[in-house]
A and B are shown apart, each in its own frame.
Chain A
Amino acid sequence: MKQTKTKKLILTAILTAAALVAFTIEAAIPPLTPIYGIKLGIANVFTLFTLYAVGKPYAAAVLFLRITLGSIFTGQLVSFIYSLTGGVLSFLLMLLLRRFFPVKQLWVLSALCAVMHNAGQLAAAMLMTSTVQLIYYLPVLIVSGIIAGVFTGLCAQLVLLRMNTEKLILGG
């Protein structure tokens, strides 16, 4: 099955909408811990899915549209700058490492990127508040990044394998 550009754009739009829904729902749930940056990041399932099933630029679109629109919709403008810093850094790592990880190891890539995301957010927070002591939160953010990243990665991975999407959409 050949994938036309139009089809890819439509897929990207649908995936962006789905990611936004997931982000909005997650934002409505009260945080489990009084620590910034500990969350599951369900929306990332859609970014990962897009990266593997559609392509790199499309995944970038899903991610950055979701961060921008999501921050506006949920009114979380405070966290926008942190989300964006974390998002950019983790996406760069994702692009860099994508070719080393087949779908079956997507969970590894996802975990690495989630850790990068949390570290990036923490760095942004340290700069914004000029507080070096926030580094104390690095260990707990690494742990939460690995757990959340493995979970979201497995979600995307299982869907991709079930659909055999890599073959189906990318044409082998």
Chain B
Amino acid sequence: MKNRIWIIIFSVTVLVCTAVWIGLSFFPSPSKIVGIYQNGSLVEKVDLTAQTGERSIELNGDYGKNIISVTHGRIEMKSADCPDKLCVKHGELKSAGSPIVCLPNRIVIKFENQSGSADAEAGALL
């Protein structure tokens, strides 16, 4: 195939994927129920709207301790002992499209579907 065809294929792919990514990242989650997972299993479900004051959740993994902070309507990874700290740099959990992930300690923080049960079942199957 000619170079021009590949340039078109790649450009279109980049545009489509960027659009999907932006859509997923900036579309705020309708649900305010957050699931905290470690090693693929649910550790805790938190209703962000029900939270008053600040609360810390500590999780221990292979690479040390992670501290999750929950305040009203907001959840974030406050500190982590993992080598890359990408989970901390992620900041506040804003959309279903970009869960907070700590790969070294295998922690995932993400919005649950309003029903929640379908997700939990899918997780349990894996």
> Which of A34, A76, A79, A146 lies in contact with B13, CB distance below 8 A?
A146
B91 nearest in chain A by CB position: A34
A34 touches B108 (CB 8 A): no
A34 touches B103 (CB 8 A): no
B110 touches A133 (CB 8 A): yes
8 A Cβ contacts from A101-147 to B: 104-105, 108, 111, 125, 128-134, 136-137, 139-140, 142-143, 146-147
Q: Which of B16-24, B49-57, B66-74 lies on the face that meets chain A?
A: B16-24
> Which of B6, B63, B90 lies in contact with A34, CB distance below 8 A?
B90
> Which of A111, A134, A143 lies in contact with B101, CB distance below 8 A?
A134
Q: With A75-B83, A129-B108, A130-B41 as given contacts, are A146 and B24 in contact (CB-CB < 8 Å)?
A: no
A139 touches B37 (CB 8 A): no
Contacts of B96 in A (CB 8 A): 133, 136
> Which of A36, A75, A104, A139 lies in contact with B21, CB distance below 8 A?
A139
- Count chain B residues whose beta carbon lies closer than 8 angstroms to a beta carbon of A: 38
The answer to the question of A28 belonging to the interface, with a C-beta cut-off of 8 Å to chain B, is no
Q: Mask for B18-61, Cβ within 8 A of A = 1, else 0?
A: 10110010000000000001011100000000000000000000
Contacts of B41 in A (CB 8 A): 130
B95 nearest in chain A by CB position: A136
Q: With A133-B108, A136-B97 as given contacts, are A36 and B10 in contact (CB-CB < 8 Å)?
A: no
Nearest chain B CB to A11 CB, angstrom units: 29
Contacts of A111 in B (CB 8 A): 6, 10
Q: With A31-B84, A136-B96 as given contacts, are A131 and B14 in contact (CB-CB < 8 Å)?
A: no
> Which of A35, A128, A134 lies in contact with B86, CB distance below 8 A?
A35
Q: With A78-B83, A139-B17, A142-B17 as given contacts, are A130 and B123 in contact (CB-CB < 8 Å)?
A: yes
B37 touches A131 (CB 8 A): yes
Nearest chain A CB to B75 CB, angstrom units: 15
B10 touches A150 (CB 8 A): yes
Nearest chain A CB to B68 CB, angstrom units: 15
Q: Mask for B83-119, Cβ within 8 A of A = 1, else 0?
A: 1101101110000111101011010101000000000
- Taking Cβ atoms with an 8 Å cutoff, the residues of B that contact A are 1, 3, 6, 10, 13-14, 16-18, 20-21, 24, 37, 39-41, 63, 82-84, 86-87, 89-91, 96-99, 101, 103-104, 106, 108, 110, 122-123, 126
